[in-house]
Structure 1
Amino acid sequence: MSFKKLIEPLKDNLQQNGITQPNPLQTAILSKIKGGKSMFVMAPKNAGKTTSIVISVINKLKEAFEDAPRALIFVKDKEEALKLEEIFNTYKRGTDLRVYCAYEEHNMELQREELYLGTDIVIATPKRLNRIFYLNGINLNKLQMCIVEDAEFLFRNNNFAEVTRTPESIGKCQYLVFSEKFDARFERWQDSFMYLSETVQFSK
C-alpha cells in the first residue's frame, strides 16, 4: 500500500519526519491490515514494526469518536507505553485522536476517571488493563483493533495469560501480534480468537 492512500494529516506528518514511502515490511502488511486481516507479523528489530502499528491505527480510526477506545495496544511496561505514546503524538498531529497510557505505576482510581472522559487509543500493560477492566473502568465493546507490540514480553510474568483474557471479553475484533519470531505458544491463539489469521515472516 502506498502512502497516497493514507489520510492527509498522517501523510503530511510522515513526510515532515522524512518518511515519504513505505519500507519493505510496510509494503507487505499495511494493505492487509487496512483490509481488517488479523496477523502475526514476525520481523527483526528496526524493520518498522512500531511505525506500522502507528500508521495502521491512525489511518483506520481517522478521528475521535464517542468515549470508548477503538484500539488497544499491549506493551511490556511504562517505559514502552510512554515511548509509543510519544510516537503516536508525533504522527497524529492534525487529527483529534486521543491516546491514553495505562500502567502499574499510575494511580488506579485516577486512571479510571481519566478513561471515563474518553479516548480512542489505549496503550496498556496487560496486568493494569485487566485490573481496570474488572473494576468496570474501561469499555471494550467498541474495540476494533487489539495489538501486541514486541510480543516477546508475553512469556514473562504471566503476561500471556493476561492478554489471552481480553478476547474473552470483547466481540469481533482485528488482532495484530508483532514479534521478532513466532513462538509455539501463539498456536493457542490460532486455535481460538486468531483462527483466521495470517502469519507474515519477514527478514531484512
Structure 2
Amino acid sequence: MSDDEERDYSHLQSERNRKHKKAGGWQAMGLDHTVFKGIEKKGYKQPTPIQRKTIPCILDGKDVVAMSRTGSGKTAAFVIPMLQRLKRRDTKGIRALLVSPTRELALQTFKVVKELGRFTGLRCAVLVGGDAIEDQFSTIHENPDILIATPGRLLHVIVEMDLRLSFVQYVVFDEADRLSKW
C-alpha cells in the first residue's frame, strides 16, 4: 500500500470510528488506528473529563489552556491529539515542543509520549539538565519529531547548536504556572 493509500485508509478508518462508536469514548474522537492502539495498550478504557473536553478542541486546531487536578489525565489530554496531528510526516525535524518546568516532569512526559506513541513511528527526544550534553546534541541531530525539554536545557541547546524550531507546529507549556517562575 502506498503512503497516499495508507493515509486515505487511515482517514476513512478514523471517520468510521468517529461515527459508529458510542459518544464520549476514544473511538468517537476519530483517532487514527495507530494512536488508538497505543491508548488501548496503555490500558486507558475511557477518556477522563479533562480529556473529553480538551482533545476534540485540540484536534480541531484550537489553542487550549486547561487546568485540572493531579492524576486527572492532563498529560494524555495533550499527548494524544499531538500524536494524532503529527502522524503525517510532511516535514522532517522537530514538529512538537513540550516544555516542562522540572527534569522529573519532563522525563515523566517523555515516558507517556513513548508509551502512547509506540505504534505511530514518531520519534521523541528529551533534553534535561543532569544528562550529558553531548548525548543530547546527538539526539537532536537524529531529527526527532517531538522534543520535550526543561527551559534551561532547551535554551542551552538552542544557543550552542543554533537550533532552529521553524517547523514546530505544536507547543505545550506543561504546568505553565510553574514555568513562569523559572
Question: Which residue type is aligned with residue 136 of structure 2?
Answer: Q
Which of 33, 37, 50 is equivalent to 2:75?
50
| CA deviation profile, 1:125-149 (whole Å, cap 9, x unmatched) | 0111112112234220000111011
Q: Please, which runs of 5 or more residues in structure 1 have no aligned partner? A: 160-204
| CA distance, structure 1, for counterparts of residue 135 and residue 90 of structure 2 | 22
Quote the RMSD (CA, aligned, Å): 1.9
Relative contact order: is structure 1 or structure 2 higher (C-alpha 8 Å, sep ≥ 6)? 1
Assess if the C-alpha contact under 8 Å between 1:112 and 1:138 holds in 2.
Answer: no
Which of 70, 94, 104 is equivalent to 1:79?
104
- The aligned counterpart of 1:101 is 126
- The aligned counterpart of 1:144 is 169
- Give aligned pairs, total: 157
* 1:110 CA displacement: 3.1
Verify: 1:59 aligned to 2:76, yes or no: no
- The aligned counterpart of 1:18 is 43
- The aligned counterpart of 2:13 is none
Assess if the C-alpha contact under 8 Å between 2:86 and 2:95 holds in 1.
Answer: yes
| Larger proportion of helix | 2
Equivalent position SS for 1:90? helix
| CA deviation profile, 1:73-109 (whole Å, cap 9, x unmatched) | 0112222222111111111122210010011212333
Assess if the C-alpha contact under 8 Å between 2:100 and 2:173 holds in 1.
Answer: yes
Which of 65, 76, 94 is equivalent to 1:40?
65
- Structure 1 pair 63–97 and aligned structure 2 pair: CA distance change class (3 A): farther
- Structure 1 pair 71–61 and aligned structure 2 pair: CA distance change class (3 A): same
Question: Which residue type is aligned with residue 36 of structure 2?
Answer: K
Verify: 1:119 aligned to 2:144, yes or no: yes
| Larger proportion of strand | 1
Assess if the C-alpha contact under 8 Å between 2:122 and 2:145 holds in 1.
Answer: yes
- The aligned counterpart of 2:15 is none
When structure 1 is superposed on structure 2, of 113-122 and 132-141 the one drifting more is 132-141
Give the TM-score, by structure 1 length. Answer: 0.70
